[in-house]
Structure 1
Amino acid sequence: MSKQNTEMAGRPKIFDEKEAIDKATEVFRNKGYDTASADELLNAMGIGKGSFYLAFKGGKQELYIRSLKQFAEEFSKKIISAIEHSDDQIQFIRRFFLVLADAENCDIDRGCYLGNALVQLSEKDEDIKKITAGLLKNLQKIFATVICKAQENGTLENSDDPEVLAWHLTNLWNGIHVTRRMEASHETLRSMIEMNLRILE
């Protein structure tokens, strides 16, 4: 009996859920939640309906929520790892923001997928709101740690409260994703970001 017939007979095939969710994330990133169809998601994930609904009983919405959660966890891990291996952590944060001005596509390093979800859907669904709010809090903690360390070792002259400075940066990250949807000029975005990054001088 073929794999497809086996699945239709009520024994869905086993698959790597993390890998499947990563593939679904690409569809959501490119198409958006509302536009992504069930067939497109299933084809990208390489599974049938039986396997899908066994793993994601809440259907497309559950898949999207798990996609956001998995992306958020990987995004935070990548930032923390990159900062830990950076020779100049303040400069790393500056670059982290400035690349957003020139980004044509939203890869995991930029986190646009989550930023867009926060703008579009966080007020529509409580689970999505919790995930995106958690991401913002994690970013704030990461920024605050770097700022506090830089103040202590003298590489950052700004002596304002590191917690407040970190929230300013977090608000900037969030705001950039709103502005990008209305302003396509890379020059304008870069100027706006550079103005906000003066707090890191």
Structure 2
Amino acid sequence: MAGRPKIFDECEAIAKATEVFREKGYDTASADELLVAMGIGKGSFYHAFKGGKQELYTRSISQFSEYFSKKISQSIAEADDKIEFLRQFFLSLAYASDCDKERGCYLGNALVQLSEKDHEIKEITAQLLRNLQVIFAETIRNAQKIGQLKSTEDPEIMGWHLSNLWNGIHVTRRMESSPEILRSIIEMNLKILE
């Protein structure tokens, strides 16, 4: 006997759990809150997530990371001025009042809070930074080719600079909430895109 069939969409359930993790954080999100948000019972939960809350969180980070990478790639592809899109993407980080899906701070928080405690989360978040670096480097390389960007700096290093900026701003936001200070830091870092 194989047991009862799964009667819920795992991706949808993980997305709902992600909202709880984004609002509460990993440590304070209770099992009951997660189950209510996901709309499933304990039996279904442990059947789908044998590693419990930790497995759910890891899968949440992984799914959200994939969504975020696709979303930013798509947004860049649709932008007429890709360098201006990157500028606005980063500048918007200074004014984000909460954990916004489009800015990826859920992932930034995971990098800061849990990546050193959990090897699998560290790998997922490290891969996210590598993905962002590739996206940024490709955007810069293409912009250099068509004359949209004057800088002749190595696109690979510039891509790492921007992924480091994305990561660093999420860390800094935890200590400094002034949009003006954050914007000044971001603007200084974005001079490489002139």
**Normalization by structure 2: what TM-score?**
0.97
Hey, what's the Cα distance between the residues in 1 that align with 2:112 and 2:97?
18
What is the aligned-residue identity percentage?
Answer: 73
SS at match of 2:93: helix
Structure 1 equivalent of residue 188 of structure 2: 195
Structure 1 unaligned runs (5+)?
1-9
Asked if the contact 1:12/1:51 (under 8 Å) is kept, the reply is no
2:37 to 38, 44, 49: 44
Structure 1 equivalent of residue 69 of structure 2: 76
Structure 2 unaligned runs (5+)?
none
Aligned CA RMSD, in angstroms, stands at: 1.0
Q: Are 2:25 and 1:29 equivalent residues in the alignment?
A: no
**Normalization by structure 1: what TM-score?**
0.93
Hey, what's the Cα distance between the residues in 2 that align with 1:103 and 1:112?
9
Q: Structure 1 stretches (4+) deviating beyond 3 angstroms?
A: 10-13
Shift of 1:13: 5.5
Hey, what's the Cα distance between the residues in 2 that align with 1:103 and 1:143?
21
Shift of 1:184: 0.8
For 1:74-113, list aligned pairs within 5 A.
74-113=67-106
Hey, what's the Cα distance between the residues in 2 that align with 1:70 and 1:83?
20
For 1:155-174, list aligned pairs within 5 A.
155-174=148-167
How far does the alpha carbon of each residue in 1:3-53 deviate from its partner, in whole angstroms, 9 at most, with x for none?
xxxxxxx74761111110000000000000000000000010011000000
Hey, what's the Cα distance between the residues in 2 that align with 1:80 and 1:90?
13
Q: How many residues align?
A: 192
